[in-house]
Structure 1
Amino acid sequence: MNGNGQSGFGRGSLAGKTVLIVNTAGANDPLHSKKFFIKKIKSFGVKVLVLSQEANSFQPYVDYCLTANTTDYLEALTALDNFFKDKPELKLDGAITFLEDDVLLTAKIVDKYKLVGTPYKVASRTRNKYLLREFCAANNLPVVKFLALKHHRDLEEVIKTFRFPLVVKPAYGASSAFVMKVNNEEELRESYSYIKREISPKIESALADGLEVFVEEYIDGDEVDLDILVQNGKIKFCAISDNAKTKEPFFIETVRTTPSNLPPKNQAELVAMADETLEKLGILNGCVHFEAKSTLAGPMPIEINLRLGGDEVYPSIKGAWRVDLVENLLKIACGIYIPKFNFPNGPYEYLAAETFSSAYSGIIVNLEIDADLKRWPFVKEFAFEKKIGDSVLSPPDGYEYLGWILVSGLNALDASDNLRQVEKVINYEVAKFHPASFIGKTSRRSPFAASMINVDLLKGRSKIEKIRRMTISNQRNLHIGIAGNLYEESGADQETVVEQDLTVIGRDIAKTLQARGYKISFFDFNDLPKAFNDLKNSDVDLVFNVCERVNNSSLLEPHVAAIFDMLQIPYTGSNPFTLGLCIDKIRVKKLLSYHKIPTPEWDYVYSLDDDIREDLRYPLIVKPANTDNSIGITNDSVVRNKAELARQLEKVIKEIGRPALIEEYIDGDEYDVPIIGSEEDDLRILPLARSIFDALPSDLWHIYPFEAKYTESEAYKKIVVQRPPKNIGKKLETLLGEIALDTYNILDCHDYGRVEIRVDKHNNPYVLELNPNPSIDAEGTTVASAEVIGMDYGDFLEEIIRLAIKRYKDNPPYYHLQPNIL
């Protein structure tokens, strides 16, 4: 409908038109996608082409998707050229945008294809708020005193010649980002330093057009929005809305009411000022969101946005005046004449909108909204983009709103009363980030004296805070990332066999957790750059870390956990220090020996020239000192004399290229002691597994070589595994558990791990090693021990998640990076 009461006016005239929508953000961006507008445009029978950095995300809603970097005008224009060369049957009828970021590119497209719209020359001096003020000053339009701030010395002129209060703001930008009111000289200096230091398109994407800053005298008056349709230089429609006083010093939006309650004389002056300003600027066609103030000295322009206003603007205008800004914008862009709108009987209804924000940055820990709110008769629109556990960045850390609501009323007072009613059923609590995450923030002398915390850092901390504050009952609402390795089958060598095992682990976990209702994302660290970028940009709450290779090396496994810590993403399992320590068997042996943990007598060599202890008793076993998965361990690894020792050292050091660990061979049963937990109150020893080697052929040593773990060797199938062990004395079982717990704690293992212990013929235990992140595929030994106590695979995985959550909940951030042994 249009404002003249003509339903469906012009629908046929739009049908078949081809319109380009320039939209930098993706279709799934909750704040900027304008997905609703695009669907509406399609309903008019328009062919829609989207030009976006994430064009494919619009695929379900549009006819054509064109991907290009919209901040690179040459790339974007070239992509358009190539598109139309490939589709000569298409004729571009119009180009529009809904984002401030894309105003200038849209103007360039208007020029290039000779479309109806605002030329680039006009758009560039309007988009730049400083240039707009220069234009106003030169063309007898109202403007306050202003000055470009290019250096700290410019502040001295401001202090001498301007009257406080002042407003410091970027020449480009949107959503009041980096716009700050200052009341004195000290605040001026601090705010300027703060803005110049922190201003970035990462905080506000509209700043990609430029980072210039200027200052102007504060305008005291009633702030309004004028939403205007202008065609052929004539205003065809203008709606004035009142903005309640913003939260200063950062000008945070609060309440907007439509239509304006200003006296008719003031409204007429505002329209006349806007009309004159648009005419002099040369803004002849389009939908304009004009921000101004009504002051005692008359109307004053603040900024002019050459696009439709955001969020509540469209529905409030549609509700109050029955004018569809999107439909009429399309007609203007396509050169279809629209009549002037008249409303002799006044508005159809009165509307009030409120924008929700937080007074400080933090995390949403409580959110209560009446489930039937959208069905209340006077609630027109409601959008709450945040949910429990989400971070909220408030100035000076960032510029995020939580959502907004639009209500109607029979008159302005009725709309205001209705707004107060809905406020009572929208309750949210934002908790400041944990103090340990914010060293130095609490001593800020003024709102902008301290540097802005890096936004990525702050958002990362929010993930840790979410885990710290969540209840276990909400565990299945988590978005779980799985960090692992995926391989294609491509051979039967040792590495390939291990790779297939690693692939199975990740897939087993993903399949099982997904079946239990978790949202799952997989991050394949065989492609490190992609895994890192995907993680950095993801919204995963916690990562299940089962990655064992980076760049085809197990030595880089610890660095994966370090990546999680740097990105501040909570994860399961041990920290980088423990993972790095345990892969180095030589350092582990030194540490166990220092703490008097029983372990076979040992030595190590890095080269064939190194001396070896003479008191070691044969037989000995020679192992690569920093490989996992038994790689490099064969039946020949056990040696009986110096000649065999020399041969095996040659193999490990020369052929495999690793240092060698030499231990006295312990003949006896081997016990796996699986442990879960991290703290004294949650540590548990799962049922032990006992391997008995007595039935092996006489030519095989009683060990687990690679062949026993990863092949179908008939000989090694004779190893008997008891889970739990049979006929084992309670004293020995207790001793094994206590030694394993000491090892687990000394090496600072988290959430789960497995200690391997040899017991000789006299029941003497010897710790062989600790695996801090043992294999936990559905058929793995650790999982099998959990099943003995009635914990199936899914239960086991969920228990690991629960333990990780508890570890983050009970301790301050980065506590897990402080090893027990330090």
Structure 2
Amino acid sequence: MSDKKVIFLVEPSFFGVSFAREAHKAGFYVVVLVSAKDNPQLYGYEGEYDDLLVCDIRDADSIYQAIYSSPYKRIDAMISATDYAMATTAEAAQRLNIPCISHETATLARNKDLARIRYSERGVPSAQFKIVHRLGEAEDAAATIGYPVVLKPTNTASSQNVFFINDRQQLRDAFKVLENFTTSYMGFSVRKEYLVEEYLEGPEFSVEIFLTHGEVVFAEVTEKVTSPLPYFVEMFHIFPTSVLEDKKPQMIEVARQALEAIGFTNGPAHVEVKYTQTGPRIVEVNGRPGGDNITSDLIPGAYHLNIFRQAVFNALKLPVDFTVEKPMSCAVGYICADRDGVLASIENLASVQHDHAVLRSAISVRPGDNVVVPKSSDDRLGYFIVQAETPAKAKAKITELIGKLKLTYRN
């Protein structure tokens, strides 16, 4: 180990497993800090790390103590491999003087209300908003902003309990749901501060961006297609975007401004924007690679770039490379139920899986499972990823294939 760079990764899970995989593949010494010793097996990266420390990833002091009492005296970098633990990871790293994102930046990236305040202070275009704690405050905020509004938690992800609100009664019903929403992924507590926001009209995108020392070294725009209101579930992503291609520089610049506002200067980020009548406006900033198959599948499939590998190298202060040769386009489409019920079958599944354009697919349900119309990304049933020569062709192909699937129900 003495001649290897040492990187600590906090709770690799879901898309964050790729941090462990790429760091291990590159020959670095990988130590994972996990909340349970069987998590590498649970999340699918068993054998792709060198050592494991168990701690409570929700608590910065627990992370600190696990590292402090370990035999490791030289740690070259530390990355939170789940965005939920960004702030606790950063706080522990700061106390131990380990290179990592700053605690302030991590806190702003994880808490939508604090980020909105910072955007307002720095003149970054985003949504009009009010921070509320009680129903009465939410009603006053909605009246001031004007319906329709969006009601959302401040520190969750995956569109969990994000509501499109048309009137006062809908607001009251949704607020009851939020008040009972106390715990999110991995046992992290849901804060009791909520956001009432202006509903931004316009197509939605995400900017996949990478910075080193505050300079943009890679940026591209992903097109997003979401479910019909009142929910905001992602149904398709097309990389790079097939629409508003001439507006990409504007969207990238607004994303850069938002990251600068929260002090994010190094590594990958995923910035969601809407292109409104007044131009691009920030929906939210995530100080991590884009999930939802964007960074794990679409970017490598289209541009042959491995963002996770570059993030590891960047964290270890090694050179990064974003050369794009022979660019293609990729898209992902998600399988969703069109009504609640018990799944009987997914017709035409085999023929779609064998289409020449399909790079990868996954199905997470089987006949007999209960399915619901998706209210968050957790309710989706699977996906297909396709590759094509242009964004328009990728979008057309994934739309065609998802359209061929027909779900049947037992009730």
Q: Matched residue of 2:158: which SS?
A: coil
1:332 matched to 2:282? The reply is: no
Q: Could you say which residue in structure 2 is the equivalent of 1:161?
A: 144
Residue aligning to 2:5: 17
Matched letter for residue 65 of structure 1 = L
* Aligned residue among 278, 282, 285 for 1:301: 282
Cα displacement (A) at 1:163: 1.6
C-alpha distance in structure 2 between counterparts of 1:263 and 1:155, whole Å: 35
Give per-residue Cα distances to partners, 1:587-623, cap 9 Å, x unaligned: xxxxxxxxxxxxxxxxxxxxxxxxxxxxxxxxxxxxx
Q: Does 2:403 align with 1:416?
A: no
SS where residue 248 of structure 1 aligns? coil
Whether the aligned pair in 1 keeps the contact of 2:128 and 2:197 (CA below 8 Å) is yes
* TM-score of the superposed pair, with normalisation by structure 1: 0.46
Instruction: Tell me which of 50, 54, 69 is aligned to 1:63.
Output: 50
Displacement, 1:225? 0.8
* 1:203-254 deviation digits (Å, cap 9, x = unpaired): x448526242110110011110111111111111011011014332121111
CA distance in 2, matches of 1:238, 1:167: 28
Q: Which amino acid aligns with 2:215?
A: K
Asked whether 1:230 is paired with 2:211, we answer: yes
1:38 aligned residue: 20
Structure 2: how far apart are the matches of 1:248 and 1:145? Answer: 20
Question: What SS is found at the alignment partner of 2:248?
Answer: helix
Look up the match of 2:64: 77
- Say whether the 8 Å CA contact 2:360–2:384 is kept in structure 1: yes
User: Is the CA contact 1:362–1:430 (under 8 Å) kept in the aligned structure 2?
Assistant: yes
1:286 to 225, 248, 267: 267
Query: 1:696 corresponds to which residue?
Result: none
Aligned AA (1:133): R
Q: 1:195 matched to which residue of 2?
A: 178
The alignment status of 1:241 with 2:222, answered yes or no, reads: yes
Q: Counterparts of 1:285 and 1:44 in 2: how far apart (Å)?
A: 20
Q: Residue 332 and residue 45 in structure 1: after superposition, are their counterparts in 2 closer, same or farther (change >3 A)? A: same
Unpaired runs of 5+ residues, structure 1, are 1-14, 26-31, 433-822
Q: 1:118-197 residue pairs with structure 2 within 5 A? A: 118-196=101-179
Secondary structure, counterpart of 1:319 in structure 2: helix
- Provide the rounded CA distance (Å) in 2 between the counterparts of 1:372 and 1:47: 43
Code of the aligned partner of 2:61: L
- 373, 385, 407: which one aligns with 2:386: 407
Give me the whole-angstrom Cα distance separating, in 2, the residues matched to 1:430 and 1:228.
42
Indicate the residue corresponding to 2:344 in structure 1. Answer: 365
Candidates 275, 290, 298, aligned match of 2:256: 275
Q: Do the aligned residues in 1 keep the contact of 2:154 with 2:191 (CA within 8 Å)?
A: yes
Q: Which residue of 346, 361, 373 maps to 1:382?
A: 361
Amino acid at match of 1:21: L
Secondary structure, aligned partner of 1:267: helix
Query: Is this contact kept in 2: 1:116–1:285, CA < 8 A?
Result: no
Aligned to 1:311: 292
Summarize the Cα distance change of 1:264–1:255 in structure 2 as closer, same or farther, 3 Å threshold. closer
Conserved 8 A contact 1:101-1:206: no
Q: Distance in 2 between matches of 1:208 and 1:216?
A: 22
Larger Rg computed on CA atoms: 1
Offset of residue 425 of structure 1? 5.6
Distance 1:87 1:155, change over 3 A: closer
CA contact (8 A) 1:165 1:182 kept: yes
Residues of 2 paired with 1:36 and 1:369: CA distance?
31
Structure 1 position 367, deviation (Å): 3.6
Q: 1:33 to 1:223 in 2, by over 3 A?
A: closer
Shift of 1:135: 0.7
Which consecutive unaligned segments of at least 5 residues does structure 2 have? 41-45
Identify if the C-alpha distance between structure 1 residues 19 and 371 changes in structure 2 by more than 3 Å, giving closer, same or farther.
Answer: farther
What amino acid is the match of 1:192?
Answer: F
Q: Which amino acid aligns with 1:145?
A: Q
Alignment partner, residue 43 of structure 2: none
Instruction: Give the distance between the partners of 1:33 and 1:222, measured in 2 at CA.
Output: 25
Secondary structure of the equivalent of 1:79?
A: helix
Aligned residue runs from structure 1 range 516-595, under 5 A: none
Partner of 1:254: 235
1:33/1:146 CA distance change after superposition, 3 Å: closer
Relative to structure 1, is the Cα distance of residues 391 and 100 closer, same or farther in structure 2, using a 3 angstrom cutoff? farther
Alignment check: 8 A CA contact 1:361 1:397 kept: no
Paired residue for 1:679?
none
1:52 aligns with 2:34: yes
Please give the root-mean-square deviation of Cα atoms over the aligned residues, in Å.
Answer: 2.6
The residue correspondences of 1:635-714 to structure 2 (distance < 5 A) are none
Deviation at 1:262, TM superposition (A): 3.5
Higher relative contact order, chain-length normalized (CA < 8 Å, sep 6+): 2
Kindly indicate whether the alpha-carbon contact (under 8 Å) linking 1:56 and 1:65 is maintained by their aligned counterparts in 2. no
Distance 1:363 1:211 in 2: 35
Query: 1: CA distance between counterparts of 2:55 and 2:340?
Result: 33
Residues 121 and 239 (structure 1 numbering): CA distance in 2 closer, same or farther, change over 3 Å?
same
Contact 1:24 1:102 in 2 (8 A): no
Deviations 1:370-416 (A, max 9, x none): 44755543212212222233344556699422122110112223213
Contact 1:172 1:206 survives alignment (8 Å): no
Distance 1:163 1:87, change over 3 A: closer
Q: Hey, what's the Cα distance between the residues in 1 that align with 2:142 and 2:21?
A: 51
The alignment covers a number of residue pairs equal to: 403
Given residue 20 of structure 1, which amino acid in structure 2 is its aligned partner?
F
**C-alpha contact (below 8 Å) 1:164/1:183 kept by paired residues:** yes
Cα deviation for residue 157 of structure 1 reads 1.8
The answer to whether the 8 Å contact 1:358/1:430 transfers is no
Give the one of 316, 320, 323 matched to 2:302: 320
Match of 2:330 among 341, 347, 351: 351
**Structure 1 residues 138 and 167, CA gap change in structure 2 (3 angstroms):** same
Identity of aligned residues (%): 22
CA shift for structure 1 position 334: 0.8
Contact kept, 8 Å, 2:342 with 2:369, in 1: the verdict is yes
- Sort the Cα spacing of 1:245 and 1:87 in 2 relative to 1 into closer, same or farther, 3 A: closer
Q: CA deviation at 1:430?
A: 5.1
Letter in 2 for 1:240: V
Contact kept? 2:239, 2:299, Cα under 8 Å: yes
Aligned to 1:255, the other structure's residue is in SS state strand
For residues 187 and 196 of structure 2, the distance between their equivalents in structure 1, rounded to whole angstroms, comes to 19
Asked whether the 8 Å contact 2:333–2:402 carries over to 1, the reply is no
Change (3 A) 1:274 1:421: closer
Alignment pair present for 1:101 and 2:84: yes
Q: Which amino acid aligns with 1:220?
A: E
Higher share in strand: 2
Which whole-Å deviations, capped at 9, do the CAs of 1:80-99 have from their partners, x for residues lacking one? 2112xx344xx222222332
- Range with bigger deviation, 247-256 or 15-24: 15-24
For residues 110 and 75 of structure 1, do their structure 2 counterparts lie closer, same or farther at Cα, with a shift above 3 Å needed?
A: closer
- SS of the residue 2:22 aligns to: helix
Please give the alpha-carbon distance, in whole angstroms, between the structure 2 residues aligned to 1:207 and 1:185: 30
Which amino acid in structure 2 is aligned with residue 70 of structure 1? I
Distance 2:172 2:235 in 1: 27
The one-character-per-residue Cα deviations of 1:116-148 (angstroms, maximum 9, x if unpaired) are 432011111221101111111111111222111
Counterparts of 1:373 and 1:38, CA distance in 2: 32
Q: For 1:743-822, what aligned pairs fall within 5 Å after superposition?
A: none
